[in-house]
């Protein structure tokens, strides 16, 4: 670690590995950080952070963060982020995000690849090559904005956050397609994500059943 670039940062525990990083105002506990630029961040029990630029974000028991830009977000509970841009979002519960852009969104126990999500809540989904805005999605396998299957034994859930049926759960069948939102005809609207809180103990650990207050929804 370049000591000249570690400004006002605290390092706790014997498990830290910090190499070629620029750190400012960070707290790091039992984590591995390499070739990254971090400011105002908290890392606790993170297996691997590599080539990441992050500001005002928290990493609790995260599996991997690499080659990504992360702002005002939380990555936790064995989730991973690779080659992605994450802003004002929470990625949790063993989620995997690859080559995606996620803004103002909560992702839980899901897999995203080459996908753009804005102001969404996603739970137990596989989403590939989709562009979704202002949606609540659960238990669906989505590809190119089309529902191609379901996850587990539960029927997919789809709730739209704009238009005359905003907030109403709509039936969605395999083969259904969600068109990309036309921003001129349907301006983006904020979705009220559930708030929750994480409090670290003195050792920097994060309780498994609690988390951080969500940042405000993204406003273009």
> Contact at 8 Å (CB) between 133 and 148?
no
Q: pTM score, two decimals?
A: 0.77
**What is the tens place of the pLDDT at every residue in 112-157?**
999 999 999 999 999 999 999 999 999 999 999 999 999 999 899 9
174 against 169, higher pLDDT:
174
Q: What is the pLDDT of residue 95?
A: 99
pLDDT of 160 reads 84
């Amino acid at each position: 670690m370049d000591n000249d670039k570690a400004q006002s940062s605290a390092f706790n525990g014997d498990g830290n590995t910090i190499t070629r990083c620029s750190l400012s105002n960070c707290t790091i506990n039992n984590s591995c950080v390499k070739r990254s630029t971090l400011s105002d961040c908290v890392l606790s029990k993170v297996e691997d952070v590599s080539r990441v630029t992050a500001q005002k974000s928290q990493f609790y028991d995260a599996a991997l963060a690499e080659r990504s830009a992360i702002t005002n977000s939380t990555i936790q509970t064995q989730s991973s982020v690779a080659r992605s841009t994450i802003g004002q979002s929470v990625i949790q519960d063993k989620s995997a995000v690859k080559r995606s852009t996620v803004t103002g969104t909560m992702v839980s126990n899901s897999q995203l690849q080459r996908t753009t999500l804005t102001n969404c809540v996603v739970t137990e989904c596989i989403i590939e090559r989709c562009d979704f805005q202002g949606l609540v999605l659960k238990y669906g396998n989505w590809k190119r904005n089309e529902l191609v299957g379901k996850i587990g034994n539960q029927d997919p859930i789809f709730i739209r956050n704009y238009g005359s049926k905003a907030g109403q759960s709509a039936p969605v069948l395999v083969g259904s397609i969600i068109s990309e939102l036309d921003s001129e005809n349907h301006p983006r609207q904020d979705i009220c994500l559930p708030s929750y809180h994480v409090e670290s103990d003195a050792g920097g650990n994060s309780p498994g059943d609690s988390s951080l207050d969500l940042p405000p929804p993204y406003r273009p």
